[in-house]
Structure 1
Amino acid sequence: MASDVSKRALRVPRVPRVPLKKWVTHSRVLLAAKTALAVGIAWLIAPLVPGVADDYPYYAPLGALVSMTPTMMGSVRTGLQTLVGLGLGIVLAGAVLVLWEPNVFTISLVVGIGMLIAGSRWLTAGGEYVPTAALFVLIIGGANADNYSIGYLVQMAVGIVVGLAVNLLIFPPLTVTTAVLRLNEFRELLARHLNEMASALQEEWPPQTEDWASRNDLLRATSDGVRTALHEADESRKANPRAQLHKHDLGGDYADLRALDAVTFYVRDMTEVLAASIWERDFPAVLPADLREPVSEVLKAVADAILARNGGEGDPDASTVADEALTMLLDRLDRLDWLDGRSDTVSSTLSAALAVAMSARRVLAALAPKEQDAPARTE
């Protein structure tokens, strides 16, 4: 009957990868092209800036370069904080020029103070320009520090504005699709991992395939990568007009990731238990030969239940099949004739099968729809 359960299990096709067009528009290639364009435009505009700033056109391309980040909100944040850092550096240099004079001691002191300010938590981007601006004003500006400071700040502002405009008008990056695909790939990895364990239990004992036994670190790293991708996708929606055209509720994806974090924990637990039962390492665990097939069927069915989520809301048939496979395994453990009167042996002999069954049950519970989903993260 266990094999019948496996045959009825839902087989969900792999999710298609990102098309070439979307890969280009969301990749480093686009960012590089936009940065090159912004720097070129800033260099053309810089000589047109009136006043003393005309003498320092080379800072405009630098401002454009600084402002180009993968997300629109990141560009705004970096640009504004860079200008704040420049302003603070100029103020520090001005204090030296008013109260003392530039020398080894005062320059070193100002740079040290600038580094302390740059390391503050509220100046996360552009902080390095505090000591840089102070140093440039004192050394390069010299006797012409007033004009230099104005030109430096104004041309950097011009470049930043150009960078923001380019980032806003030309495919402002929106990485929601990429994050959703990473989430789907994470499910595929977990499902493939469970299927490999299931196949190993049906091989000649002990199994020769053991790649899955050392994949726990990969599962944890993949989870961290998906969380980063979702955070970047959430960030890419802010101040992005494309987000209004491509609405997507990331709250559900964050809820799915929390569920998959729990699933990963239980899958890693199953991995350790089965590896210990096969190769007798880490801790004692026994998986009797007559229980390997039903345990294998449970793993396959749970894998299908995880993969079914890639189809959207998930197919209840896949979870039903997994529940049936798990129930059959537990019923089989309950009906074993040789359990009578041998409770001491039971606890050690069935430890692996019971541990896998409990972890599988908790995986299915984590995948079950919750009454209250995470709040929507929309703009």
Structure 2
Amino acid sequence: MGHPQNSWIVALPVGYLSAGRRVWVRHPRWSLAIKGALAATLAWFVGTLAPAPFSEYPYYAPLGAVLATTSTVVRSVRESVQTVAAVLIGAAIARAVDLLPLPGPLEVGVVVGIALLCVGWRIFGDMGSWAVNSAIFVLILGSGEGMGFIGSYAGLIVVGAAIGIAVNLLLPPLPLTPSEVALTRLRDELAEQIETLAAGLEDRGTLDPDAWEDRRHRLIPTIESARAAVGQMREASRANRKVRRTGYRDWVASQTRRAGALGTAAEVVDEIVRLLVEWERDGREDVALGRQLRPSFATTLRAFAAALRVAETQDAANRPDGGAAAQAAADAVRRLDDSLGELRHQVRETRRTSEQDYFVAGALILDVARGADALRL
């Protein structure tokens, strides 16, 4: 039998490794800083060991390394190629203008002007600004050095980028935490807006069009931020060996489903607000709900918000409380379905005793039903 202390000694490093892995995932900026520092250090040493004239400018290699480690694996390759192309174009512009008999200030202006024209070329993507940086570096720092400086500058950036890509392949970024935070923020703001709308209907007052239009616009940056974060997560999952692990694979799949559900929910909320602000205002005889249906629709909206707040837990089967969380989410959607059923029944009954057709009320029910379907993850 093994000694209990030996088991504790073995478990201690394992616990530290597990804790370190959790920190690495939850704090992507820390991992980014470590990878960038490692790649830049390696690139510097490679630059100093390279033959002349490369070894005379070793500080350019870390530039390429940092560039490659600050993005996803796929993007780092693409952006490295685009950066090198922009650097070469900028260097060519500087050398060509340097051959002209122009005074210093005018020479700088011509170089910068021509380089800026190249910034927007599609082949450079977001790396077009490197054409301007390269042109200025070569014109000012490489004056009189000729092609040796240009070759060293571009070549060391290529070498540094290659080192950065290699580090990215060994420690590929998978920004699941930022996308998780963005999706949670979107979920909370959507639920809050639904609950505020329900409270407005319960107060039986009119909905202020300007105030609700402002609410709709304030939600747009949150939606765009979540969409961008999820897009980066999806891109990072390509050519990423981490995704082969069950935990990461499930997390990526979960976030992808949540992003789709929340995207649909955002569309539903926007349409509901638009319809209610348009049809539940003073001066309209053919209102969407009226006093009879407002309380029931407010109840349905609250059920929608409650289901939205727990929807993300339906994917949590890999957690210790996964079964209970999934059941809670399913129960919330079922309560939403029940509320929708009661609302449909009340709309039918109200139509029988009213001259109004309540078509807009039917459209609102369809919108909430679409939101409920999106939450059935």
Deviations 1:281-326 (A, max 9, x none): 9998475444333222222233344345323367555444333322
Q: Unaligned stretches of 5+ in structure 1?
A: 1-18, 374-379
Q: In structure 2, do the counterparts of structure 1 residues 90 and 359 end up closer, same or farther at CA, with 3 Å as the change threshold?
A: same
**Greater RCO structure (CA 8 Å; 6+ sep):** 1
Q: Is the 8 A contact 1:78 1:126 kept in 2?
A: yes
Bigger drift between 34-43 and 71-80 goes to 34-43
Rounded to whole Å, the distance in 1 between the matches of 2:221 and 2:135 is 41
1:90-129 superposed Cα distances (whole Å, 9 cap, x missing partner):
33445557x7567556665454333323320111143223
Which residue of the partner structure matches residue 347 of structure 2?
333
Contact 1:67 1:76 (C-alpha < 8 Å) held by counterparts: yes
- Aligned residue number for residue 296 of structure 1: 298
Which residue number in structure 2 is paired with residue 144 of structure 1? 145
CA 1:182 to 1:126, structure 2 compared with 1: closer, same or farther past 3 Å? Answer: closer
Aligned mates of 2:173, 2:284 — CA distance in 1: 47
- Provide the residue aligned with 1:358 in structure 2: 363
- Tell me the equivalent position of 2:75: 74
Aligned partner of residue 127 in structure 2, secondary structure: coil
What do the CA deviations read for 1:11-65 (whole angstroms, capped 9, x no partner)?
xxxxxxxx97256532x34323433343344334432221211222232233333
Structure-2 change in CA distance of 1:83 and 1:270 (3 Å): closer
Aligned residue in 2 for 1:163: 164
Relative to the length of structure 2, the TM-score reads 0.72
Partner residue in 2 for 1:8? none
Note the residue ranges of structure 2 that are not aligned, 5 or more in a row.
1-20, 316-325
Which residue pairs with 2:336 in the alignment?
322
Contact 1:57 1:155 (8 Å CA) reproduced:
yes
How far, CA to CA, are the matches of 1:211 and 1:320 in structure 2? 34
2:87 aligned partner: 86
Query: What is the CA RMSD across the aligned residues, in angstroms?
Result: 4.1
Q: Contact conserved, 1:187 with 1:310, CA < 8 A, in 2? A: no
- Whether 1:242 aligns to 2:256 is no
Q: Secondary structure at the match of 1:124?
A: helix
List aligned pairs for 1:132-281, cutoff 5 A. Answer: 132-169=133-170, 171-176=171-176, 178-180=178-180, 182-203=182-203, 205-206=204-205, 213=212, 214-245=214-245, 246-248=248-250, 257-274=259-276, 280=282
Q: In 1, distance between residues paired with 2:132 and 2:288?
A: 64
Q: Contact conserved, 1:43 with 1:61, CA < 8 A, in 2?
A: yes
Is the CA contact (8 Å cut-off) linking 2:64 and 2:160 kept in structure 1? Answer: yes
- Corresponding residue pairs, total: 341
Is 1:21 matched with 2:35? no
TM-score where L is the length of structure 1: 0.72
Identity among equivalent positions (%) equals 27
Decide which structure has greater helix share: 2
Looking at structure 1, the residues matched to 210 and 310 of structure 2 have their Cα atoms a distance apart, in angstroms, of: 24
Find the counterpart in structure 2 of residue 122 from structure 1. Answer: 123
